[in-house]
Amino acid sequence: MTRPTRDPGSADPRLGVRRLLGVVTRVESEEVAASLGLLASVFLILLAYYLIKPAREGWLAVSPVGELSKIEIKAYSSLGQVLLLVPLMRFYSRLVASWPRGRLVARVTIFLGSNLVVFWLVQPGLLLDRAPWAGIAFYLWVGVFNVFIVAQFWAYVADFYSTEAGRRLIPLIALGANAGAVAGAWLAERLVKGWAVSGYDLLLLSVAPLALSLVLLLQAERRGPSGQGAPTGPSGGGAPSPGRTDRAALALIQGRPLLAAIAGLTVVFGWVGANGENLLFSAVQNAVELRAAAEGIGDGASRSAFVLAETTGFYGNFYFQVNLASFLLQALVASRLVRLGGFSVVFLCLPLVSVLGYLAMAVFPVLAVIQVAKVTENSTNYSIHNTARGILWLPMTTEEKFKAKPAVDTLFVRCGDGLAALTVLVAVDWLGVVPIRIFWLNVGLGVLWVGLALWIARVRQGLLEEAV
């Protein structure tokens, strides 16, 4: 009796992996290795970032600056990030024109990772008895780090894949970002509350996942999108692309209406988000101060330690909720929404969620409502909107991806933060407006955001149809 011949494809371990990944999106056999490598890479980047992020809030909370309130310190620090990013983006544009994408990503990541060690060394009480400005400096640096490291990764992914492959695989790779954010937020809370690890030590712990993420990305670069060992992206992995010129990112954006509109939308997006974050931070600090007074904790070192621990603990839990919701949205909703609704529907989700959320916060301005609304807004941002932003850049040129996209995702986001700082200065300091009323400003900005998103989606669709 002849034994039936076994299908060779059934022995391929990638077949089982493809079936598992098929829950999220369709992945071809030859795409499995590179896509999983990039998924793991961004998982580790976000894990590292969410170890750093609660430490940033805690350090800022115990960094007094004159008579400034907590919300003023946070808002004006965001304005400082804008001033830092202007020269940094000009310098980064020169690097893009000089280095191939693999070397660019590697060197920038190594430099940023080494900065974490430096900040760990200047924490109060280690090498220096007092470092009153270290918390402000660290806050400014994290604002540069988080947008640079993430924007650079997604620019790389947009250049690595073709438009068709990117449309399928970006929702899958973004799932790694959501999972890493969940793991990082959960681990930060466990380390600080369960194992009494100092918020400063989280900086040193974050270096290891950041280094491993770079190793995985470089392995994907060597494999290429289809596992053939030669990247098919426009710039490839070797010499810089002829398309990369010495044009600065801002000149590139100003010269194309679609890029200028994307930059303008990003400013509004950053302004709305920063207003919300500033008000959440203010509400948390008010709650912590009330709790400290109720427990009879006086001024001095004990109160400072209490504020640091409570703020870090709140944000660790808050980020865990945001990232868990983001993970579920990314795994179960994002790719299906892209397939069924198309780019326009995905791109409009966040502004609509933001308008409804800030309406709720304006009507019921209490910490519980603010927390729920911000969890909803942020989780939509980190899943569905993050997917939309990745797909948005797929048809762009390599120069636009590596120059305009990082500029939009860093400088223009921080310009929105700067406008949020100006909002605090004018509304709170000069006019004496109750900070909660800023929620109504966000409702109006959200309506503007919806209009810009509709225009960009329509223009992008027209360009795609012309290309076809």
Q: What integer best gives the mean pLDDT of the chain? A: 83
How is residue 161 written in tokens? Answer: 């894949």
> What stretch of H or E contains 93?
helix 70-98
Distance CA 405, CA 300 (A): 45
Distances (CA, A) of 220 to 47, 161, 350: 19, 12, 31
448 within 8 A of 330, measured Cβ to Cβ = no
φ, ψ at 124 (rounded to 5°): -60, 130
DSSP state of 67: T
Q: Average pLDDT for residues 417-445, to the nearest whole number?
A: 82
Q: List, in sequence order, every residue forming a beta bridge with 128; answer none if it has no partner.
A: 124
What are 234-241's contacts with CB under 8 Å, separation 24+?
A: 234/159, 234/397, 234/398, 235/100, 235/101, 235/159, 235/398, 235/402, 236/100, 237/100, 237/101, 237/102, 238/100, 239/100, 240/96, 240/97, 240/98, 240/99, 240/100, 241/398, 241/399
Distance CA 196, CA 309 (A): 10
Kindly report, residue by residue over 391-404, the tens digit of the pLDDT. 998 888 888 888 88
- Identify the three-state secondary structure at position 456: helix
Distance CA 358, CA 150 (A): 26
Distance CA 306, CA 310 (A): 6
Distance CA 82, CA 410 (A): 9
Confidence at residue 241, expressed as pLDDT on a 0 to 100 scale: 46
Q: Where are the domains positioned within the chain?
A: 30-240+247-467
Residue closest to 53 by CA, chosen among 179, 145, 148, 122: 145
Confidence of residue 190 (pLDDT cuts 50, 70, 90): confident
Confidence of residue 232 (pLDDT cuts 50, 70, 90): very low
Q: Which of 84-88, 113-117, 208-212, 434-438 comes out lowest in average pLDDT?
A: 434-438
Confidence at residue 67, expressed as pLDDT on a 0 to 100 scale: 60
96 within 8 A of 104, measured Cβ to Cβ = yes
What are 103-108's contacts with CB under 8 Å, separation 24+?
A: 104/152, 104/402, 105/152, 105/153, 105/156, 105/214, 105/217, 105/218, 106/214, 106/218, 108/148, 108/149, 108/152
Distance CA 268, CA 265 (A): 5
Distance CA 357, CA 442 (A): 10
Confidence at residue 20, expressed as pLDDT on a 0 to 100 scale: 79
Confidence at residue 239, expressed as pLDDT on a 0 to 100 scale: 39
> The domain 30-240+247-467 is classified under which CATH number: 2.40.170.20, 1.10.10.10, 3.30.460.10, 1.20.1250.20?
1.20.1250.20
pLDDT at 454 over 90: yes
Kindly report, residue by residue over 118-151, the tens digit of the pLDDT. 999 988 777 776 766 777 888 888 878 877 888 8
Q: How does DSSP assign 219-264, residue by residue?
A: HHHHH-TTSSSS--STT-SSSPPTT--S--HHHHHHT-HHHHHHHH
How is residue 128 written in tokens? Answer: 């220096």
Q: Which of 136-145, 240-249, 295-304 comes out lowest in average pLDDT?
A: 240-249
pLDDT at 41 over 90: yes
pLDDT at 331 over 60: yes
- Identify the three-state secondary structure at position 43: helix
| More confidently predicted of 369 and 12 | 369
Q: Average pLDDT for residues 84-89, to the nearest whole number?
A: 82
Positive or negative torsion for Cα 354, 360, 365, 366: negative
Confidence at residue 132, expressed as pLDDT on a 0 to 100 scale: 66
Q: Average pLDDT for residues 249-265, to the nearest whole number?
A: 90
| More confidently predicted of 154 and 411 | 154
User: Global pTM?
Assistant: 0.75
DSSP state of 365: -
Q: Which of 209-213, 356-360, 428-432 comes out lowest in average pLDDT?
A: 428-432
Kindly report, residue by residue over 334-353, the tens digit of the pLDDT. 988 988 888 999 999 999 99
Distance CA 132, CA 110 (A): 27
Confidence at residue 89, expressed as pLDDT on a 0 to 100 scale: 82
DSSP state of 431: S
Confidence at residue 316, expressed as pLDDT on a 0 to 100 scale: 78
* Other beta carbons less than 10 A from residue 108's beta carbon: 18
